[in-house]
A and B are shown apart, each in its own frame.
Chain A
Amino acid sequence: GAVVSQHPSWVICKSGTSVKIECRSLDFQATTMFWYRQFPKQSLMLMATSNEGSKATYEQGVEKDKFLINHASLTLSTLTVTSAHPEDSSFYICSARVRIVTSTDTQYFGPGTRLTVL
């Protein structure tokens, strides 16, 4: 099946620093990637939709200047948490949609990145 990787799998940083998380589709091209945030014992909350070569579309309440998303190629999207604070600590998950037009909606998820801001 399709594989999506994320790097790093976990990161600890100091408050005020920026952290970059990479999401790669390893064996397929993804025109669309999604970024989610998951709080403990909570659902995944969609943060933004990232289309290759264009600006990301952010969900309501998500600060686009705080969470910078770049989708420079069909296999790579990055999420940068700028000036991170302890409340940004969370599990960040990406998913990628294959470049095939179908009548069904299939996303492949990465394993997630655990961010802890001290």
Chain B
Amino acid sequence: GDSVTQMEGPVTLSEEAFLTINCTYTATGYPSLFWYVQYPGEGLQLLLKATKADDKGSNKGFEATYRKETTSFHLEKGSVQVSDSAVYFCALSPSGGSNYKLTFGKGTLLTVNP
């Protein structure tokens, strides 16, 4: 079945540091790929997405590129802020059909210190 593997946290960085959170997936065909963010006490919010190979999703300074050859969708940000502290989830949705079920990774807790 489909699966998502993301780097285990927690990740602790200083403000303005570079962030990478690795995510790899296993799925048939061409799934859609997502990064969700969960701020303390809040529900998951879609951060960015990519629906086909080589697509780059971007939002709020975060980027991730859909790499079919390495089955990866790593999340990056050039300069993190304290407000970026949250749990980040990589997820996929199967390709085609009417199945929109999401498969999530375990989440990575990011803490950014001032």
Residues of A within 8 A of B (CB): 4, 6, 32, 34, 41-44, 46, 49, 93, 95, 97, 103-112
A103–B42 alpha-carbon span in the complex (Å):
27
Q: Which of B79-114 contact A (CB under 8 A)?
A: 89, 93, 100-107
Contact with A along B5-46 (1 / 0, CB 8 A): 000000000000000000000000000101010000111111
In the complex, B49 has a CB within 8 A of chain A: yes
Contact of A105 among B36, B41, B102 (CB under 8 A): B102
Residues of B within 8 A of A (CB): 4, 32, 34, 36, 41-46, 49, 51, 89, 93, 100-107
Q: With A93-B43, A111-B43 known to touch, is A103 a contact of B102 (CB < 8 Å)?
A: no
- B43–A46 touching, CB < 8 Å: no
- B106–A42 touching, CB < 8 Å: yes
- B101–A111 touching, CB < 8 Å: no
Contact of B51 among A4, A43, A104 (CB under 8 A): A104
- B107–A106 touching, CB < 8 Å: no
**A-side contacts of B51, CB under 8 Å:** 103-104
Q: Which label, helix, strand, loop or mixed, suits the secondary structure of the B interface?
A: strand
Q: 16 A-B residue contacts at CB 8 Å? A: A34-B102, A41-B106, A43-B105, A43-B106, A44-B89, A46-B103, A93-B44, A104-B32, A105-B93, A105-B100, A106-B49, A107-B46, A109-B36, A109-B43, A111-B43, A112-B43
- Known: A44-B44, A109-B44; 6 extra A-B contacts, CB below 8 A, are A34-B102, A44-B89, A97-B100, A105-B34, A106-B49, A109-B36
A109–B105 alpha-carbon span in the complex (Å):
16
Distance (whole angstroms) from the CB of B13 to the closest CB of chain A: 19
Distance (whole angstroms) from the CB of A67 to the closest CB of chain B: 16
Distance (whole angstroms) from the CB of A9 to the closest CB of chain B: 9
Distance (whole angstroms) from the CB of B74 to the closest CB of chain A: 18
Distance (whole angstroms) from the CB of A111 to the closest CB of chain B: 4
